[in-house]
Amino acid sequence: MQVTAIIAAGGRGTRFGGADPKQLLQINGRAILDRSVSAFLLHPDVSDVVVALPSELVDDPPEYLRGQPVRLVAGGSRRQDSVANAFGAASSQSDVVVIHDAARPFVSADLITRTIAAAAESGAAIAALQARDTVKRCAEHPAEVGHDIHIRTVMETLPRERIFLAQTPQAFRRDVLAAAIAAGLQSPRDATDEAALAERAGHAVRIVDGDIWNIKVTTADDLPMAAAIAASVDRSTESVVLPARKPARTGRAGTGYDLHRLVPGRALVVGGVTIASDVGAVGHSDADVACHAVTDAILGAAGLGNIGEHFPDSDPQWQGASSLELLQRAVAIVAAEGYEVGNIDVTVILERPKIRDHVEAMRRAIGGAIGLDPSRVSIKGKTNEGVDAVGRGEAIAAHAVALIRARR
């Protein structure tokens, strides 16, 4: 099952106040948006992440979003417009789309898992907390004629066991969300969440037990609670890291190697660049030997296996996949272990065509996928002097070395 996560971060946070959007605010030394996005980037069930941002941030995003395997889109004037923009950028292969408010930075992996599973089974599901307090429905009356002051009186007491307070994540099968978004775009009314749109479109929405820590930072009054939760979450995360898995203080090196047969009728993709050729590499993905070798080098440096373990050719979701995207995912996996990539050195072995005219484009493409300046990516082209299958023009190979280091 392929799952796309949409992070709704296009709002201005007018209720919060302040010059900057609230999602950029730091809590316990880390931005609210960074915490929310990372929860989905690191979740094993999530295949890709789309973030809807204020338009001015799309071309100049915060540092923690640069080099990450995320798609950035401009938000709209309403929440449903922002989600519609993000949905348009999501993978067309997604079976389930999960939507989360950037202002809920403490969502747990377990809550994400349960919400996705419920949506896959029922079509639509939301995280929600059952009301704990007695709930009153009220009416407002003017205190005095000609005055703006109103008084409230109780109209009825609602059974709290049937009252639930909606949170995010909210997850939907792709066809259900498409119908909900269409309903939202056609309606002049604002919707506070996608579940309301799904309800309007005639779909039943299943409730998943929410989490009391999954608070939404709406006003400045929420900050003390958020700071307390952040401190607890961060301490808990640190306590479960085993000493053997803590990032090394010195750099770590890894090597990678890949080889593919060359046949007519396939595109020749090397280092994220398609090169004009009468033959191309055979593979389950786009068979980019340079990216595959780099991916193995980075994973190997962190002691995290190889490309085949994380993106097996037995899995149809990687059929024809961009190797640059697989490289981005590998970098995210390594980043979750506390490492960042320092530099890359690649040697491509190919008899013909020559790659010299494409090296700079390859450096930019690989550097962009990793989050490195191209000056830290070296790519060299060699031949095999007519020896073996590579030398006869029947195959292409690549060697790579990666240096990683503990993130500061």
Q: Select from 218, 240, 262 the last residue of a domain.
A: 240
* Residue 405 · residue 339 · CB < 8 Å: yes
Query: Is residue 110 domain-shared with residue 224, that is, in the same domain?
Result: yes
Q: Select from 196, 224, 240 the last residue of a domain.
A: 240
Q: Select from 206, 240, 274 the last residue of a domain.
A: 240
Q: What is the pLDDT of residue 147?
A: 60
SS (H, E, C) 254-306: EEEEEEEEEECCCCEEECCEEECCCCEECCCCCCCHHHHHHHHHHHHHCCCCC
Q: What is the pLDDT of residue 240?
A: 39
Q: State pLDDT tens for residues 81-97.
A: 899 999 999 988 899 99
Q: What is the DSSP letter of 159?
A: -
Average pLDDT, the chain: 89
Query: Is residue 317 domain-shared with residue 352, that is, in the same domain?
Result: yes
Residue 279 — pLDDT band, cuts 50, 70, 90?
very high
Q: State pLDDT tens for residues 108-153.
A: 999 999 999 999 999 999 999 999 999 999 998 876 655 667 788 9
By DSSP bridging, strand 48-53 and strand 135-142 are unpaired
Q: State pLDDT tens for residues 244-266.
A: 334 444 479 999 999 999 999 99
Stated pTM of the model:
0.58
Terminal-to-terminal C-alpha distance of the chain: 35
Query: Is residue 219 domain-shared with residue 254, that is, in the same domain?
Result: no
Query: Is residue 227 domain-shared with residue 294, that is, in the same domain?
Result: no
**189 has a pLDDT exceeding 60:** yes
Q: How many domains, the chain?
A: 2
Q: State pLDDT tens for residues 31-80.
A: 999 999 999 998 989 989 999 999 999 999 999 998 888 999 998 888 88
Q: Which domain holds residue 22?
A: 3-132+160-240
